[in-house]
Chains A and B, each alone.
Chain A
């Protein structure tokens, strides 16, 4: 069965530091993969998506992610974190008429 794992529940980084959020997926074929961000009390906003092709995907707000089939990973990165990036981040894959979400990683940014 398809699944998505986000190993880190909480991550704290200093403003200006680089960021990497981990995501591992389980799927036989090439998956559709997504990263979403959720600010407190809000819905989910799409950061980026991978369907096929170039394995390095650029998204909004300066985020990027790299699809690595050999590691079954789709990690999210940002070179320099801003205080406004503090939020919860969800990795997801597309299943049959639904998404399968990871449990999320809550990002805290220190000033």
Chain B
């Protein structure tokens, strides 16, 4: 069974640009969540989707957005990039549909560098 796949793995952007990251969950998993990991802030929750609906959102500005498609694949977008957006963006999928997230399976992440 294939794991969580994130693309691209690495990317470099300049301030003001926008970026779209993609995540394909494990087959059969309908919950997809995103986390931002930085050395200073650790792992911060961005948002969670289930059956194309956003069920929870973290404390990030509106420049951060996401969506989920009918095949459970998810994308997140960051507009008007800032230097502080440089981070490892991790996607995770889960089989559990309930409020208490079960085991999360993580992808290897997309490393974004903003110059």
**In the bound complex, how far is the Cα of B103 from the Cα of A99, in angstroms?**
10
**B side interface size, CB within 8 A:** 26
Stretch of A10-18, A41-49, A66-74, A76-84 at the chain-chain interface: A41-49
Distance, CA A42 to CA B48, complexed state (A): 21
Given A34-B103, A49-B103, A101-B108 contact (CB < 8 Å): no
Question: Does B58 belong to the interface (CB within 8 Å)?
Answer: yes
Instruction: Give the dominant DSSP class at A's interface.
Output: strand
B99 proximal to A (CB < 8 A) = yes
- Chain A, interface size category, equals 20 to 34
The answer, among B43, B99, B103, B111, for a CB contact under 8 Å with A97, is B99
The 8 Å CB contact of A101, one of B31, B43, B101, B107, is: B43
Contact, CB under 8 Å: B102 / A94: yes
Which residues of chain A are near B104, meaning CB under 8 Å?
34, 44, 46, 99
B101 lies within 8 A of A94 (CB): yes
Extra pairs beyond A49-B103, A104-B43 (6, CB < 8 Å): A44-B90, A94-B101, A95-B100, A97-B33, A97-B50, A99-B92
